[in-house]
Amino acid sequence: MSGDFEPRTLSFVLFACFIAVSFLLCILAATDSDDPSEFYIGTGSLGPMQNGLAIAGDYISAATVLSTTGTIAIAGFDGVLITMSTVVSILLFMLVMAGPLCGRGRYTLGDVLAERLSERPARIGTAVLVLAVTMPLLTVQLNGAGDMMSLLIGIPGSASVTGCTLFIGSLMVCYAALGGMKGTGFIQILKTVILLGAFILLAVLVVKRFDWNPASLFGAAADKSGYGDAFWESGRQFGDSVTGKLEVISIQLTLAVGAACLPHITMRLHPIRGARAARSATTWAVGAVAVLGGLIVIVGAGATAIVGTPALRAADPTGTNSLLLLTRALDPEAESAHRSLLFTLVACAVVITTLAAVAGLTLAAAASLAHDVLAKVLLPERLSPVRELAAARAAIVGVGVVAVALAMVTQAWNRQILISFTFTAAASALLPVLLYGTLWRGFTVTGMRWAMYGGLGLTFLTIVFSPAVSGGALAVFPDRDFHWFPLRNPGLITIPAGFLLGWAGSRLGGRPSPEPPSLSGAQGEDAKISRHGRTDRSATGRVRTARREGGGLA
Amino acid sequence: MSDHAWVQTTHPHPVRTAEVMPPRPPEATGPRPDPGTVPSPGFRPDHRGERRARRSPWRRPWPWTARAACAALACHLAAVVVNCTAGGGIDIGAGGGFTVGSLLVGADAVVLVTVLVRAERRAPAEDTRERER
């Protein structure tokens, strides 16, 4: 498909403008002090609206935009349900987790869990989980951004995609390392506004084609889908078999509970202070995501109604390119002049979306490495603030290099499997730990270990032996067949298993010898938390924590 | 004049009226706790230092946010399951109609909006409560 596009001067200019503006914004917002707290939670100065839009920006990834539009265009109502799940997920998460997570002066998820559980296993486990969850998503986003930029500048071939991926990876590292939390926050706000603007424009153009009548739009989509009226019923994505229905339920459950608990989104909650600010941010975030979801439904239906399902499937069986194909079809001059302003604008919006998403993900992964592992476990009390900041920036570079390398290795893979792994692992391992760790006083370190490693291992095992990896035309290894697990998205099994493991580990787990109360390590953290917020752990609290590790609250 | 009972007088101290409560019978007050007894493991001090019974999360009153989240999730999953299992539509005539699942999706959207509006309305009260704590 890349060969269909010609190089465009307009694209270069507009893309350069987008990059320059976002980079300038990032540098202007960047912290000028050597305080790690400014780097990790620097968005404390943002208002509720800005925080809400930044959360929405972090939440809406390029995968959300491109995949959901494609699923609606290819599978109709199943895609609409996915959009609903996306909105439900952020609402549920903000409602339940905004209170426990916001405004306590924490930097990472490790800080949250280390307050109530034993510090070392909590921080190490969280770092492992954060890396396992963020790296696949980072890889997918970088691949998508490389593809999109290659299309945008009109240079076909895998070498061009590799070069573009490298370029996007370098930009991502610069944004995250220079801007920190505040800089990436401003980029997320910019991205949300640009994305909403681009989708409003597309939706208006689509509805205008059908005489401003949404009913004719959805009718035309059903006619051109090849399914007729059944297009707006469930079952088009995975078929009407029992496995297909279970697959749909599994995806919906995974998205509804797992999409919003990713570490880069939870990190955005830490700087918000007070319930009122949190609720206001919730309204803005959910509102922005809901509006975008509605627009995605219109645009997806428009892709089917204007381009037609056969053409969309021919271009990409997963439908990921539906948005771009629709954009080209909407601009009558796109084919003749190869200077489509609409296409360039939409492609730039998608690239900026990806860029902002990967910057947030990189920051979350690097913060977990530098703060949880290095500053609190490997070198407790021995890392000065300046050196911790330097370590965080070095970790960003390291994460960026690994992510770009992984993106190159997985360039030809079906990206759905990596997205599926990310969301399922987040819902099966991260969510139980987060919910139990903040809301259940009986949660123990054993339960945390069981939920974290058990949920993660189970997710990995079921996905490796699923049809997404082998035994299908779109599988990673299409020529081999070693699958025995029937579902591509194992969330229906792994999510309850993760919660069950957390509960069972806390109730049935052994009683390791309690940690002696020490004044090093955790005490420094305690003092910091006490300064920032209300959390206060004295030595007595530490003893209590150690006792809890043994097997529940005394 | 000062002998008249209704003449307003100023007293050096405010007059106190004290009602003496009659002594309560021993069965009303209950047995006094033995200072030597050890509290049962089910009791532990709360943040105010008072002892209260330990209850499982299922017996404790859930915060309204958790209840709202559960309602929204249940409604959404019900919509999905009904869509997958029923699949049939409700024909409203003239070529129009809705699947049962679509109606539930609509209900789901209504739940979401309600929860969001309620969250916005309750935010100031929660903020005050949190500050007082």
| Model confidence pLDDT, tens digit, residues A268-313 | 888 887 777 888 888 889 889 999 999 999 999 999 999 988 888 8
User: Helix %, strand %, coil % for chain A, to 5?
Assistant: 75, 0, 25
Residues A546 and A409 in one domain: no
Quick check: is A316 in a domain? yes
CA nearest to A39, candidates A355, A276, A387, A376: A387
Q: Which residue of A has its CA nearest to B126?
A: A275
For B40, the 3-state DSSP assignment is: coil
Indicate the Cα dihedral angle A16, A22, A28, A31, nearest 10°. Answer: -130
Share of chain A above pLDDT 90, in %: 23
Interval A327-376: pLDDT, tens = 888 876 655 545 677 888 888 888 888 888 888 889 899 989 988 888 88
Q: How many CB pairs under 8 A join A and B?
A: 113
Higher pLDDT, residue A532 or A103:
A103
Q: What's the pLDDT score for residue B131? A: 58
Interval A258-279: pLDDT, tens = 888 888 888 888 888 777 788 8
Q: Which amino acid is at A224?
A: K
Quick check: is A42 in a domain? no
Nearest CA-CA distance, residue A249 and chain B, Å? 6
Could you say which of A359, A389, A413 is where a domain stops? A413
The CATH number assigned to the domain holding A110 equals 1.20.1730.10
Optimal mutation site among A91, A213, A243, A434, interface B, most CBs of chain B within 10 A:
A91
Q: What's the pLDDT score for residue A36? A: 78
Q: What's the pLDDT score for residue A98? A: 80
Interval A47-58: pLDDT, tens = 888 888 999 998
| Close Cβ partners of A72 (under 8 Å, ≥ 6 residues apart) | A79, A80, A82, A83, A296, A297, A300, A301, A303, A304
CB-based burial, A15-30: b 16+ in 10 Å, e otherwise: beebbeebbebbeebb
Residues A392 and A537 in one domain: no
Residue B74 CB neighbours (<10 A): 12
A13 touches chain B (CB under 8 A): no
Quick check: is B9 in a domain? no
Q: Residue A519 pLDDT > 70, yes or no?
A: no
Quick check: is A475 in a domain? no
Higher pLDDT, residue A523 or A378:
A378
Residues A404 and A535 in one domain: no
Quick check: is A452 in a domain? no
A234 touches chain B (CB under 8 A): yes
Select the residue of A249, A440, A554 nearest B80 (Cβ to Cβ).
Answer: A249
Q: What angle do CA B4, B8, B10 make, to 5 degrees?
A: 120
Quick check: is B118 in a domain? yes
Q: Residue A455 pLDDT > 90, yes or no?
A: yes
Quick check: is A451 in a domain? no
Q: Hey, which residues does B52 pair with through a beta bridge?
A: B44
Q: Where are the beta strands (DSSP E) in A160-229?
A: none
Quick check: is A441 in a domain? no
Select the residue of A84, A92, A256 nearest B105 (Cβ to Cβ).
Answer: A84
Number of domains in chain B: 1
Q: What is the mean pLDDT of chain A?
A: 82
Could you say which of A369, A385, A413 is where a domain stops? A413
Structural domain boundaries, residue A528:
517-554
CA nearest to A434, candidates A70, A74, A133: A133
Tokens encoding A310: 């056969």
| Close Cβ partners of A166 (under 8 Å, ≥ 6 residues apart) | A404
Quick check: is A152 in a domain? yes
Number of domains in chain A: 2
Q: Where are the beta strands (DSSP E) in B1-131?
A: 43-45, 51-53, 89-93, 96-99
Nearest CA-CA distance, residue A546 and chain B, Å? 17
Nearest CA-CA distance, residue A79 and chain B, Å? 12
Q: What's the pLDDT score for residue A499? A: 94
Q: What's the pLDDT score for residue A525? A: 39
Residues A147 and A296 in one domain: yes
Higher pLDDT, residue A417 or A31:
A417
Higher pLDDT, residue A440 or B31:
A440
Structural domain boundaries, residue B118:
64-132
Quick check: is B121 in a domain? yes
Q: Residue A35 pLDDT > 70, yes or no?
A: yes
Rounded to whole angstroms, the Cα distance separating A317 from A297 reads 19
Q: Is B109 left (phi over 0), alpha (psi -120 to 50) or beta?
A: alpha
Residues A203 and A338 in one domain: yes
Q: Residue A539 pLDDT > 60, yes or no?
A: no
Q: Which residue of A has its CA nearest to B119?
A: A279
Quick check: is B125 in a domain? yes
Optimal mutation site among A92, A243, A499, interface B, most CBs of chain B within 10 A:
A92
Rounded to whole angstroms, the Cα distance separating A354 from B99 reads 36
